[in-house]
Copies of this chain bind each other. A is one copy, B any other.
């Protein structure tokens, strides 16, 4: 793909910083909000839900490209005000779709990120316009675009002068009828292999149904996505568009609460938001329980690996003080970054080290005893 002159540059950085929110960094970025901006109150509620869930960016369409000319076409400038106001109140960034030169003109000074929708992925004149602005652009993959065509669409924006393109996989058109489109998570890996651009995933438009959003969101993060774009509506049953695929606020909050651990599992981070006033003691405690379970499982896995290490070392060398000090220092530093009281790391890690060593010594002695016993056994042992 020789024409990916800019999108294909491997040396360039691949993270985009937008007023302190970094797309393409270690943190997985959550973008949420309704398909269409409908009212001031709707957007306020949506923004609050997004912020509390740990989302960083509020979405909402004000210029809607709709399949039928008789469907709701968006609130335009009025909707833009609702979106910007709601995002600002909650300290969120905001993103909205543009569909032509006039709509771009309307939003450009108000919005943090512009979106180019799937149906406009090969509207090359719009891509060129998006290349002349300074704001970052989320470029959705076309309904039946190959990954190469998608990257070449990004190249239009890049080559026109705007280096800040975020790719968004949103499902492709296939024969399968049980979902609106087929989410192509291979696209995350392929796009990242061919380009240096951040890639986010929109599971909502892909699935077209609420019940799959949670599993697809986790899968997207596990596949390496840099962020998620999820439709959520304060009252999906009354949404003017895409209601069936929009999460309820509490579903959105719950999903967000489950993403952090998946992000960690692939060396990424995601921090769920501050306490939801509606969060009960029970919810919080069950979150703690889940974390505790992970800690114990990880400790057990750690102990198993330590046991393998021990297999490779002489008994008298199972304890390795230099490494222990080094590890302790590193973890203390990490803990501080994460606002963990430093005494906690300093108190429990020596215990973890010690228990591990004792456990190894016991096992070794037991094995050797078994061997000795077998040697002295009159019949030997099998």
A residues near B, CB below 8 A? 3, 5, 65-71, 99-101, 103, 119-120, 122-126, 143-144, 146-149, 152, 155-156, 159-160, 172-179, 182-190, 193, 206-207, 211-212, 215-216, 218-224, 260-262, 264-267, 269, 271-272, 274-275, 279, 281, 284-285, 287-306, 308-309, 311-313, 323, 327, 330-331, 334-335, 338-341, 343-345, 347-348, 351-352, 355, 358-359
Contacts and interface: CB of A to CB of B under 8 A. Distances in A.
Contacts of A334: 293, 296-297
Tell me if A's interface is mostly helix, strand, loop or mixed.
helix
Query: Ordered nearest first, which 3 A-B pairs have the shortest CB separation?
Result: A144-B144, A300-B338, A275-B308
20 contacts: A67-B122, A67-B149, A99-B125, A119-B123, A146-B177, A189-B216, A218-B266, A261-B264, A264-B294, A265-B265, A284-B305, A285-B309, A289-B330, A292-B327, A294-B294, A295-B295, A295-B298, A296-B338, A303-B341, A303-B344
A51 B102 CA distance: 41
A72 to B, nearest CB: 13
A65 B120 CA distance: 12
A172 B182 contact: yes
Nearest to A208: B186
Nearest to A260: B301
Contact of A341 (B146, B216, B287, B359): B359
A175 B174 contact: yes
Nearest to A292: B331
A179 B190 contact: yes
A341 B218 CA distance: 32
Nearest to A224: B215
A317 to B, nearest CB: 11
Contacts of A287: 305
Given A70-B159, A119-B123, A185-B185, 14 more contacts: A120-B122, A144-B173, A144-B175, A174-B182, A215-B222, A269-B297, A274-B308, A287-B305, A288-B309, A291-B305, A296-B335, A297-B334, A299-B335, A303-B341
A71 B347 CA distance: 63
A344 B352 contact: yes
Contact of A183 (B156, B185, B330, B348): B185
B159 A69 contact: yes
Contact of A275 (B101, B212, B291, B311): B311
A148 B264 CA distance: 35
A77 to B, nearest CB: 16
Contacts of A260: 301
A220 B216 CA distance: 9
